[in-house]
Amino acid sequence: MGIVEKIVQLRDEALGRIAAAADLESLESVRVAYLGKKGELTAVLRGLGELSPEERPAVGRVSNEVRDAIEQALAERRAVLEREALEQRIAAEAVDVTLPGRRRPLGHQHIIHQIVDEIVDVFVGLGYRIAEGPEVELDYYNFTALNHPPEHPARAATDTFYVRDLSTDEQSGRLESDVLLRTHTSPVQVRVMERQRPPIYVLAPGKVFRRDVADPSHLPQFTQIEGLVVDEGITFGDLKGTLEHFVREIFGPERHVRLRPHFFPFTEPSAEVDVSCAMCNGEGCRSCGGEGWLEVLGCGMVDPNVFRYVGIDPERYSGFAFGMGAERIAALKHGIPDLRLLIEGDMRFLRQF
Amino acid sequence: MRVSLKWLKELVDVDLPVEQLVDQLDMTGTKVERVVRTGQALERVVVGQVLVKEQHPNADKLSYCRVDVGAGEPLRIVCGATNFAEGDKVPVALVGATLPGGVTIKRAKLRGLESEGMMCSARELGAGSDASGLLILPEDAPVGASYAEYAGLADTVLELEVTPNRPDCLSMVGVAREVGAVLGADVRFPEWDLATSGEPVDQAVSVSVEDPELCPRYTARLIRGVKIGPSPDWLVERIVAAGARPINNVVDVTNYVLFELGQPLHAFDLATIAPSGGVARIVVRRARPGERLKTLDGQDRALDAGMLVIADERGPIALAGVMGGEATEVSESTVDVLLEAASFDRASVSKTSRALGLISESSLRFERGVDPELAAVASERAAALIAELGGGEVAPGIVDVYTRRVEPRPITLRCARMNAFLGTSIAREEAAAILTRLGIAAEPSGDDLACVVPTFRPDLEREVDLYEEVVRIWGMERVPSTLPDGRERVGGLDASQKVERRIGALMRACGLNEHIGLAFEDPRRVELCGFELGPDEQLVELLNPMTSEQSHLRVSTLTGLLEAVSRNQRRGVGEVHLYEVGRVFRTSPGRKLPKERTVVSAVLCGAWDRQRWYERPRPLDFFDAKGVLEVLLEGLRIDRWRLDASEHAWLQPGRSADVVVRGEVVGWIGEVAPRVLQAFEIDGAVAALELDVRALARASAAVVRYEEIPRFPAVKFDVAFVVPREVEAETVAFAIRSYGKPLLADVRLFDVYEDPRDARERRLPEGAKSLAFALEYRAQDRTLSEDEVRSVHERLVERVCAKVGATLRA
């Protein structure tokens, strides 16, 4: 057999083995067997030097052709095998997409603070800043400067928690202390007006305390959100418009708002604010007790006596204030049947919201 | 305040349906809490006429009747009464009626004959005590009409919530005036004539007020020769509708006038008052130590010195404004009545009523304030009624000690300012009309209204009070809604409020749920935990706690969180991850207000989750809490911090530390001491932390400066140091960092190894541990060669070994 025949035979052999290679590994061994350093074709090519100069060009050409053919066949086969391998891997890697994802449970914000933050954001959008005050307060800020007469029933020890006053040695009668747990967030109004001149646009969320035994509709500690605006030319219509905006932001744009005249010592005129029941839209149904309306907050124009306590001229400035209970809003908006759920820390409750 | 619609309609025209009236009252500031229809108990009782009355064939004492009830066939009714005849009209309870006694009428067979209803006696209808026979109605009673309606028993009672500023609305006349203003209707005020005769009152009665501060006015009238007896039906009906119980004509009249005009009155039996120099001498004074009074409700009460009493020579005979005494009350044998109409201080009545736990219609009104001007008027009204109903003659004159006179109050209402204040354009005439109907004189004066507020409206003191009167009647719903247009207003959260929000978001990102705990604390729990208080510090004490478990304010939120963990476990929830941001309190002698501090705290108990397909539950421990801490501080951009191992009574020794940020201790972290867990009945470990929010806010970087992202590759070496067990990892890491400058870019602890206690072959010396670090060297300006780094690294390792007493792990 001449050298050319030998080369052609090698080619045929190689192409046959390439086509038969079942995987990339055996394909690689075919490549090594023919084109590797010790490969058969390599050996043949290495022997070209021993040929006569007349034979060399022809044999050289044939062997180059053969090498190219084998390389091309290898490349084509590799592409096929790689594609097959990828397809197999993909098939093998298919998962049950309905299995739950890997995760750590997400933490949830308490529903009360979600409501507070939501309301804060509404009023920040209206240009309000957030004010804070102490939870242990002086009678002066909680009652006196808010125009509560000395005999006001809210001052009674049955309603308000009093705190031992350590600034004086003689603790005259047990309940004579003028230090107390604030019963509303309204004292923050007074503190803000004492330290800041108008214009004042503030919202004051915070904890408040009343001597109520915890039951489905009462807690001894709950959360109020107080608003105060003092500026030149503030009108009762501004109060109304502000609260309408607020109620629609929090309860939904289709809800109606009404102001019912009421009495609070620190506002004049005063009103309670009702929002139309989401279930019946004011018609009256079981969820609103047939009223059609749900009371959500109290409000009014700042009483001139309050301005007098903080040295703001009621002839020059006017203002409005409003206050609401976050727990009540939570109960109305989310159908929470028992307020005690809010302070128990039950994981199953907290993770619902 | 209970308002009978029937009574109201006599005072003012109410032409609209009850629902609309209720609505209008609601919307003008008089909240109607309940609408009660009385006479409903007598539903299905109608006026019937006996057509046929026959002897019952099977019973001597029964009759068998046909009764026309105005609809359908006449009913067949078996009846036991005998006092009626054919043609009589009687009340008939139809099948299905439930009578006041609770009996429900059914179709029944009586001695073989079917009976389709029942003819009723007065007693069966709850209309009296007469059970001797059927209640025979007048001939003109309309057959088929509802009996309750026919007999005038049907009424609607509105229960009003009267706000504390409106004492005038605690009377029918006051409510009528309000309703008149709301509906634009005229009010018919009650009128009376008083005839007097005999000796003038001051011949028989003297009054001395020792404490005019507490008793601005005291009046007394005398009605002689009264015949005590039951009151007429119309009066009983009204006071019952208003919520009182009929007693006798004199007492009923005092109640009637109280409801009608709002003036509490008291009637004394003159004969029971100790005479002094021939006259009954009434003294209004404060109670003396040790004095007692048996009040009308039969209770013998010890009086506090300082309570205002009405007294005679012998001692107290009534608690001023609260309740009369039993010894001087009007009884069947009373002949002469001394009628008191007075005005007492609000606070004094309120204090007495609360101290004795005694609330009466009278005290309720005095607490809100009763117009002193009303006393003489109401006294006259009551005297006239008593004389009318009980006979007797009213003595001429009135004893009237009126020391602190009240006057109508002039106020100018500036219409332009009112409209500017309300955001309205209410015409002056409209405002004047509203005020006038409310009883406030309002005369035009230039552009304004010169108003005069009557004494029955003590709540109207300032101009703005009149604005409210106008706008609430005019209609708050008519006020145009606007938003303030203040120009200098900028909204937003301040830095610490933003940090507080961020803290919450980071805790939730770690998987923690927010808890809101009560601020109250049980001092025994503080002692159990051993929370540290400064040398002078103490707990904040409540003077009137609701329970001994809530007698103080918390110094840490941990106790509340542990209580929540325990509660979850009791309810079968074993995985508890909670955080709280809230205030804690402590105080010290000399302080009025305590120190309030906001803390963020967390507890972790159980695993993160129940078993999942990809993961087994692993109980959380110290390092899970530390992981939370790391996320929190990273998220707040706080970089210079460390943990110092420390001991706290409430934490397990060896698993607790102080959190130190920039050299300042800002809180603690650790696993809760087993002793504390046991007291809270918690199973398994609880890892916890508590940090001061203000301190975190201060340390939180406002602005982070950009650092160049590495452009050149790092050269990495791993090294494992073997050190004594008690050497802290941070000590080694700190040494590595300090010797690694400037090329060392990153140090990461990737393995901690100790021989297991029961290991057969030891890989490390006794009492040693191995800490393996991955070190990355990098230059900012070039690619480092491995050889260059190797020499640096080897020198570093040698120096670290020397510094911390380490050897290299083989």
Contact A113 B504 (CB under 8 A): yes
* Integer CA distances (angstroms), A109 to B497, B509, B538, B600, B689, in order: 16, 10, 32, 14, 18
**What sections of A94-151 are H helices per DSSP?**
111-125, 139-142
Contact criterion met (CB below 8 Å) for B701 and B638? yes
Outline where DSSP puts E strands in A129-266.
129-130, 136-138, 179-181, 200-209, 221-231, 257-264
Residue at token pair 């604005």: B467
Contact B544 A211 (CB under 8 A): yes
Amino acid at A158: T
Interface test with B, best of A240, A249, A262 (most B CBs within 10 A): A240
- pLDDT (average), residues B210-221: 95
Nearest residue to A317 via CA among A241, A203, A228: A228
Chain B closest-CA separation from residue A272 CA (Å): 9
Chain A closest-CA separation from residue B312 CA (Å): 29
Residue at token pair 């993909």: A90
Contact A164 B542 (CB under 8 A): yes
- B506: nearest CA partner in chain A: A107
Nearest by CB to residue A261, choosing from B472, B541, B582, is: B472
pLDDT tens string B85-109: 999 999 999 998 887 667 888 888 8
Contact B164 A263 (CB under 8 A): yes
pLDDT at A171: 54
Chain A closest-CA separation from residue B72 CA (Å): 36
Query: What 3-state class would DSSP assign to B51?
Result: strand
Asked if A209 reaches chain B (Cβ–Cβ under 8 Å), the answer is yes
Burial B390-406 (b: 16+ CB within 10 A, else e): bebbbbbbbbbbbeeeb
Asked if A188 reaches chain B (Cβ–Cβ under 8 Å), the answer is no
Nearest residue to B260 via CA among B331, B349, B192, B347: B192
CA dihedral B224, B228, B232, B236 (to 10 degrees): 110
Long-range contacts of A60-68 (CB under 8 A, 24+ apart): A62/A4, A62/A7, A62/A8, A63/A7, A66/A7, A66/A8, A66/A10, A66/A11, A66/A41, A67/A35, A67/A41
Asked if A200 reaches chain B (Cβ–Cβ under 8 Å), the answer is no
Nearest by CB to residue A350, choosing from B514, B520, B609, is: B514
- A175: nearest CA partner in chain B: B543
The ipTM (two decimal places) reads: 0.89
Contact A120 B517 (CB under 8 A): no
Contact B575 A234 (CB under 8 A): no
Contact criterion met (CB below 8 Å) for B672 and B650? yes
Chain A residues lying within 8 Å of B575, measured CB to CB: 105, 347
Asked if A174 reaches chain B (Cβ–Cβ under 8 Å), the answer is yes
Euclidean distance between CA atoms A166 and B17, whole angstroms: 60
B87 CB burial (10 A radius; 0-12, 13-18, 19+): exposed
Residue at token pair 């933003």: B498
**What sections of B427-494 are H helices per DSSP?**
428-437, 463-474
Euclidean distance between CA atoms B591 and A182, whole angstroms: 17
Two structure tokens written together for B363:
């005290």
Size of chain A in residues: 353
Q: Is the peptide bond before B742 cis (omega within 30 degrees of 0)?
A: yes
pLDDT tens string B382-428: 999 999 998 889 999 999 999 989 999 999 999 999 999 999 999 99
Nearest by CB to residue B568, choosing from A174, A238, A347, is: A347
CB atoms within 10 A of CB A252: 12
Nearest residue to B264 via CA among B217, B304, B307: B217
Amino acid at B760: R
Chain A closest-CA separation from residue B641 CA (Å): 25
Q: How confident is the model at residue B500 (pLDDT cuts 50, 70, 90)?
A: very high
- pLDDT (average), residues B558-586: 97
Helix (H) or strand (E) holding B221: strand B217-224
Nearest by CB to residue B511, choosing from A100, A107, A221, is: A107
- A314: nearest CA partner in chain B: B464
Chain B residues lying within 8 Å of A207, measured CB to CB: 519, 582-583
Q: How confident is the model at residue B59 (pLDDT cuts 50, 70, 90)?
A: confident
pLDDT tens string B738-774: 999 899 999 999 999 999 888 888 889 989 999 999 9
Euclidean distance between CA atoms B216 and B320, whole angstroms: 12
Residue at token pair 């803290």: B503
- pLDDT (average), residues B139-161: 86
Two structure tokens written together for B252:
């009923």
Euclidean distance between CA atoms B621 and A193, whole angstroms: 48
Residue at token pair 């009702």: A274
Euclidean distance between CA atoms B348 and B367, whole angstroms: 8
pLDDT along chain A (353 residues), means of 10: 82 92 92 89 80 82 88 94 93 94 94 97 96 97 93 87 86 70 97 95 97 94 97 96 94 91 95 87 74 90 96 96 94 90 97 95
Q: How confident is the model at residue B672 (pLDDT cuts 50, 70, 90)?
A: very high
* Integer CA distances (angstroms), B78 to B71, B104, B118, in order: 19, 16, 8
pLDDT at B153: 74
Q: How confident is the model at residue B41 (pLDDT cuts 50, 70, 90)?
A: low
Contact B489 A125 (CB under 8 A): no
- Say yes or no to pLDDT of B514 above 90: yes
Q: Between A and B, how many CB-CB pairs are < 8 A?
A: 272
Euclidean distance between CA atoms A70 and B5, whole angstroms: 112
B771 CB burial (10 A radius; 0-12, 13-18, 19+): buried
pLDDT at B130: 67
Euclidean distance between CA atoms A247 and A254, whole angstroms: 10
B514: left (phi over 0), alpha (psi -120 to 50) or beta: beta
- B570: nearest CA partner in chain A: A346
Contact criterion met (CB below 8 Å) for B723 and B805? yes
Chain A residues lying within 8 Å of B509, measured CB to CB: 106-107
pLDDT at B89: 93
pLDDT tens string B156-176: 899 999 988 899 999 999 999
Euclidean distance between CA atoms A277 and B304, whole angstroms: 50
Contact A346 B567 (CB under 8 A): yes
Chain B residues lying within 8 Å of A179, measured CB to CB: 592-593
Two structure tokens written together for B476:
């708050």
Nearest by CB to residue A304, choosing from B462, B482, B538, is: B462
Nearest residue to A136 via CA among A168, A164, A157: A164
Asked if A234 reaches chain B (Cβ–Cβ under 8 Å), the answer is yes
Contact criterion met (CB below 8 Å) for B2 and B242? yes
pLDDT at B146: 86
Interface test with B, best of A140, A175, A236, A348 (most B CBs within 10 A): A236
Euclidean distance between CA atoms A17 and A14, whole angstroms: 5
CA dihedral A125, A126, A131, A136 (to 10 degrees): -100
Contact A304 B464 (CB under 8 A): yes
Chain A closest-CA separation from residue B43 CA (Å): 23
Q: How many CA atoms lie within 13 A of A281 on its CB side?
A: 4
Asked if A106 reaches chain B (Cβ–Cβ under 8 Å), the answer is yes
Euclidean distance between CA atoms A138 and B639, whole angstroms: 40
Chain A residues lying within 8 Å of B484, measured CB to CB: 201, 229, 231, 234, 238, 242
Query: What 3-state class would DSSP assign to B340?
Result: strand
Contact A127 B163 (CB under 8 A): no
Nearest by CB to residue A135, choosing from B480, B519, B546, is: B519
Amino acid at A206: G
Asked if A238 reaches chain B (Cβ–Cβ under 8 Å), the answer is yes
- A137: nearest CA partner in chain B: B593
Asked if A221 reaches chain B (Cβ–Cβ under 8 Å), the answer is yes
Euclidean distance between CA atoms B95 and A193, whole angstroms: 69
Outline where DSSP puts E strands in B6-124.
31-38, 45-55, 63-68, 75-79, 89-94, 108-110, 113-115, 117-119
Task: Indicate the average pLDDT of chain B.
Answer: 93
Contact B564 A304 (CB under 8 A): no
pLDDT at A129: 96
List A residues 37-96 in contact with B (Cβ-Cβ < 8 A): none
**What sections of B202-339 are H helices per DSSP?**
233-242, 249-261
Asked if A291 reaches chain B (Cβ–Cβ under 8 Å), the answer is no
**Main-chain phi, psi angles of B679, to 5 degrees:** -65, -35
Asked if A261 reaches chain B (Cβ–Cβ under 8 Å), the answer is yes
Contact A345 B165 (CB under 8 A): no
pLDDT at B291: 93
Contact A344 B29 (CB under 8 A): no
pLDDT at B129: 54
Residue at token pair 């005839």: B195
Chain A residues lying within 8 Å of B28, measured CB to CB: 261
Two structure tokens written together for B118:
């029942």
Chain B closest-CA separation from residue A190 CA (Å): 17
Contact A240 B481 (CB under 8 A): yes
Chain B closest-CA separation from residue A25 CA (Å): 34
Chain A closest-CA separation from residue B286 CA (Å): 19
Q: How confident is the model at residue B126 (pLDDT cuts 50, 70, 90)?
A: low
Euclidean distance between CA atoms B306 and B166, whole angstroms: 28
Q: How confident is the model at residue B516 (pLDDT cuts 50, 70, 90)?
A: very high
Asked if A131 reaches chain B (Cβ–Cβ under 8 Å), the answer is no
